[in-house]
A and B are shown apart, each in its own frame.
Chain A
C-alpha cells in the first residue's frame, strides 16, 4: 500500500508546479472529450462492463461499476 501513498504524494507535488488557471480560461476543460472516461459516459460504462465480464480485474473505473453475474 505504501507505493500508492507515494503516488498520491508525487501527484500532489507535481500539482504544485501547475499554473493557476482562471475560470474564464477553462473553456477547454469543459469539453466532454477532456472528461476521464471519454465524452460518452454511457458507452464508457458499457465498455467497462464488457471488460469486467471477460477479464479478472473489476475495479478502478469509478465506484458504481454495476452488477454482473460474471463470477
Chain B
C-alpha cells in the first residue's frame, strides 16, 4: 500500500510517499518526519529572532551542539571546495535587499562586502567565534536538504524500502516502485512551472534544483536573485539540477551551478534561457 503525506515546513510544501503495509507504522513514520522537520525549521530559522541560529548571528550564543557543529563544518568545507561559490555567509548582505533605493543598496553593499566569507568564523572545540559583528550565517540553502536526508534516515529506521521525500523540489528517492520500475522525477520548465521539461529516473539518489527566479527581490526596477553571491552570475542559466547520493551535496552543487558552471563529478542538468538542456550523465 502506498501512503502519501503532505505538510508545510520551512515555508515550502513538503511531500512524502512510501510503500508500507501497515497504516499505523506509516503514520508514525510520517509523524516522526514532520516533527523532525519542524524541529530543524525552528532551530535554524534565520528570520525568527528567537531561533538558535539567530542567537548565534546576534552573538548571544556561541556554544555549538554536535548537530550544529557538524553542519557548520560541512558548510565551511563546501565553501573551500567550491572556492567560495557556496557560501553560507552571504546572508551578511541579505538585509540590504530591503533597501528602498539602488543608491542605498550600493552604499551598504560596499560596506558589508568585506565581511562576507566563511573565513570570518572559526570553530574551536564546541564554540563558534566570529572576527567581526557583521558576518551572518544563513543555513537556508542547506537545512532543507539536510532535513530531506534526515527524513530518509527516519524512513529507513521504520524499515521503509521504497518511496521518496520531496521538500519543495529537494528530492530523495529510496528504492524502486512496487512494480520494480524506478521512480521518475520531473524537472519543471522554468518558464512554465506547471509542466515538466524532462524527467529523470532515480534509485537511492538525491536530486535538487536551483532556480533563480523563484524568490527574487526587487529594488526599483532591478531584479536580484535570492541566490546571493560574491561572484556575479556569468551565464544565463534559468535552473540547475544535480543528482548525487545526498540531498545536501546536490543542494550545494545546484546552487553553485547557478552561479558558475564548474566541473562536478555528478550528473547535472542545466536549463538556459532558450530552454536548451545542458547535461552530463
Do the two chains touch directly in the complex (Cβ atoms below 8 Å apart)? no
B residues contacting A by CB (< 8 A) are none
